[in-house]
Chain A
Amino acid sequence: MAEMSGADILVQCLVDLGVEVVFGYPGGAVLPIYDALYNHPTIKHVLVRHEQGATHMAEGYARSTGKPGVVLVTSGPGATNAVTGITDALMDSIPMIVITGQVGTSLIGSDAFQEADTVGITRHCSKHNYLVKSPGRLAHVIHEAFHIATTGRPGPVVIDIPKDVQVASAPFEKPGAIAHASYRPQVKAPAADIAAAIDMIAKAKQPVFYTGGGVINAGPEASAALRELVELTGAPVTSTLMGLGAFPASSDKWLGMLGMHGTYEANWTMNQADLVICVGARFDDRVTGRLNAFAPNSKKIHIDIDRSSINKIVLVDLPIIADAGSALADLIAAWKAAGHQAQDLSGWWKQIEDWRKVNSLAYPADTDEIMPQHAIAELFGATRGKDVIITTEVGQHQMWAAQHFHFDDPNKWLTSGGLGTMGYGFPAAIGAQMGNPDSLVVCIAGDASVQMNIQELGTASQYRLPVKLFILNNEYMGMVRQWQELTYESRYSNSYSDSLPDFVKLAEAYGWTGIRIENPDDLESGIAKMIATPGPVLVDCRVAKLSNCFPMIPSGASHTEMLLDPSQVSGTMADEAKALV
């Protein structure tokens, strides 16, 4: 058996595992790995400007391609800078491998230069992590790490490799398939559960599908199966923020997103349903609103690959532990085998159509300011017929994008849902563009969020990635300001974006094209120019400074207590509601 250095073993494993791109940043503790990657014929290394950027790029790459994202960073500050992205990937179930350098094994624990307890720090924000203390273990650990990151409920796995382990050599043999002793996610649902579910769906008079990111993680087949099952049953569909695109927004069965900034029809349908079929979602507090008023008269089926998601927040009548795609396929087969026909749900649909008529996503027309919702609607219109991937930062613009940009396919919508990480969207767009060179990748950003990883302008320039950065610039941390209006009588404590840079000049300084859109009249042409301009383009789109995102379910309120417009905002809130997240 050939002896290879730890660094060479790592790189060989990455090749064997089909890795094409690594997002990383060098440093002392990973120099042997960087040397092994030097001029590598198949693995492309993307040099980021900050390790957090690398993690979000890997997430964007993973979410848009379905392949795991790979990150390589040095010890100490390299690893700690990666922590936010690792946590983000854990919350949103993104398959990611983070390779961190570590000080030599003999120095561990001695407060050596750039030493951090990386496995300790990442233990509870990763799906799993390893400290590899001998080169002979590396190949197995790397293959196992990819297995764990990509199967079951996907997530980030950290591999911490001391520098001496990268340099020392060991015999290398390509590991076979991983048969893990204790990690064995249940993929296939028990037949009895499927039969029970079919029975409940066939009997329901007011059913609704409530789907989430799990359907997207389960691959395009799962989205296809969801469409088929909805067609067979005739039931309406709503989804979480993370699940957008699994079901086509252009379908007449689509209700829009549910939850805090969900549509009137989605939230009322949930509230009045007699059966909620939850697929790959987890009853997040942003979705449920006040728990004791959440879908109060419904039976609930919950399909999830993670057993700990079941009965965590909401007690369900029928838990099904399975991969969403596998369970949906089984449900379709069982439905057909039982000879069920789509029910007559016309009464239910009539009710839903009445809710739809409220037109809860309506927004005021532009005056001399561009309405941010209008800017997104315009962007949506201008990108029809193109293969477009949208990423977002976090804030009002994110919610407006979820409401006004409509997705017909999975893997086209990348946003930080669980952790709500400002600074996610722009690097995620770069990662998505790496994985989808021919797609039109647009990051819809806010003026505050975009500054959290703005340094990655340089990364896009360096790799000639034609990402479009569309900033809805309202000169505020709009979402914070909105909550201050709702809760703290509009005392805008530190939510004004003072001293903003000249974004256009900043873009130009990095070799980008910069466009400023200030007047409603220039919106259409500005967006057209952004799309038509080759290479990376930043748009500083000045929008109405004080608009707020509606509908909104305030903290502690139920799905039926949506605020539809600013006139319903009282400006104060009870302490109980203030204390809710």
Chain B
Amino acid sequence: MHIAEEQNERHVLSITVTNEAGILARVAGMFTARGYNIDSLTVADISPDHQLSRITIVTNGAPHMIDQIIAQLDRLVPVHKVTDLTDNGPFVERELALVKVNGIGEARIEALRIADIFRAKVVDTTTESFIFELTGPTDKINTFITLMRELGLVEIGRTGIVGMVRGKG
């Protein structure tokens, strides 16, 4: 017997929640309990009175599963609103990465050159290393990292994605 796999879609969900103890565990735990995927997760306080947080989750699944995920999120008591950015017209998604690259000689120069093309900032340097700071959509960061692998990449830190619908709110 074999277990069949389904065709998945990537969706970015923006979830407004009450900023209370345990909320992240509630949301993240719902994903694990029901077998849904979390590819990226960010959370931060977004209101002046610290009452609300926004959680951005990148998930993937078959379309009916994405609908279920949204309905299951909506059902959690402290969840105010769930927006499927992927299904709501154009949206902006950004992620920040710190990438440490060791190198001397030609590789070091090449790394700097590529960083320039990607508009990555150098935020730390020694004679044998750089830390680059890069913001952008996931694809751009992935490409940058792939290139840096050949040039002495030693460490990566990524924030995960935040996203927002384009146009007037």
Contacts and interface: CB of A to CB of B under 8 A. Distances in A.
A576 B1 contact: yes
A131 B26 CA distance: 14
Interface stretch (A98-106, A259-267, A305-313): A305-313
A543 to B, nearest CB: 37
Given A181-B18, A306-B75, A311 B80 contact: no
Given A123-B26, A124-B30, A308 B1 contact: no
B71 interface: yes
B157 to A, nearest CB: 28
Given A182-B18, A308-B72, 14 more contacts: A119-B22, A123-B22, A123-B25, A127-B77, A131-B22, A181-B18, A181-B80, A182-B17, A182-B77, A183-B77, A308-B75, A311-B64, A315-B64, A576-B1
Contacts of B30: 124
Interface in A179-227: 180-183
A478 B135 CA distance: 63
Interface in A290-346: 306-308, 310-312, 315
Given A124-B33, A312-B68, A307 B74 contact: yes
11 contacts: A128-B77, A131-B21, A180-B77, A181-B18, A307-B74, A308-B74, A308-B75, A311-B64, A311-B67, A311-B68, A315-B64
Contacts of B79: 182
Interface of A: 119-120, 123-124, 127-128, 131, 148, 180-183, 306-308, 310-312, 315, 575-576, 579
Contacts of B21: 131
A295 B78 CA distance: 37
Nearest to A157: B77
A182 B17 CA distance: 8
A120 B33 CA distance: 13
Contacts of B78: 182
B82 to A, nearest CB: 11
A306 B68 CA distance: 11
B29 interface: yes
Nearest to B20: A130
Contacts of A181: 18, 80
Nearest to A125: B33
B33 to A, nearest CB: 5
Contact of B1 (A123, A148, A579): A579
Nearest to B25: A123
Contact of A307 (B17, B33, B71): B71
> 4 tightest CB-CB pairs across the interface, nearest first?
A308-B71, A575-B1, A182-B80, A128-B77
Nearest to A120: B25
Contacts of A306: 75
A307 B64 CA distance: 13
B29 A124 contact: yes
Contacts of A307: 71, 74-75
Interface in B128-159: none
A148 B26 contact: no
Contacts of B80: 181-182
A131 B67 CA distance: 31
Contacts of B71: 307-308, 310, 312
Contacts of B74: 307-308
Contacts of B75: 306-308
A556 to B, nearest CB: 12
A355 to B, nearest CB: 32
A119 B33 CA distance: 15
Contacts of B18: 181-182
Given A123-B25, A124-B33, A148 B68 contact: no
Nearest to B30: A124
Which of A119, A128, A183, A315 gathers most chain B CB within 10 Å? A183
Contacts of A148: 77
Interface string B1-17: 10000000000000001
B28 to A, nearest CB: 10
Nearest to A148: B77
A183 B75 CA distance: 8
Interface string B56-77: 0000000010011001101101
Interface in B26-44: 26, 29-30, 33
Nearest to A309: B71
Contacts of A575: 1
A119 B79 CA distance: 17
Contacts of A124: 29-30, 33
Contacts of A128: 77
B53 to A, nearest CB: 12
A51 B68 CA distance: 34
Nearest to A321: B71
Contacts of B64: 311, 315
A380 B75 CA distance: 40
Nearest to A152: B75
A575 B78 CA distance: 42
B80 to A, nearest CB: 4
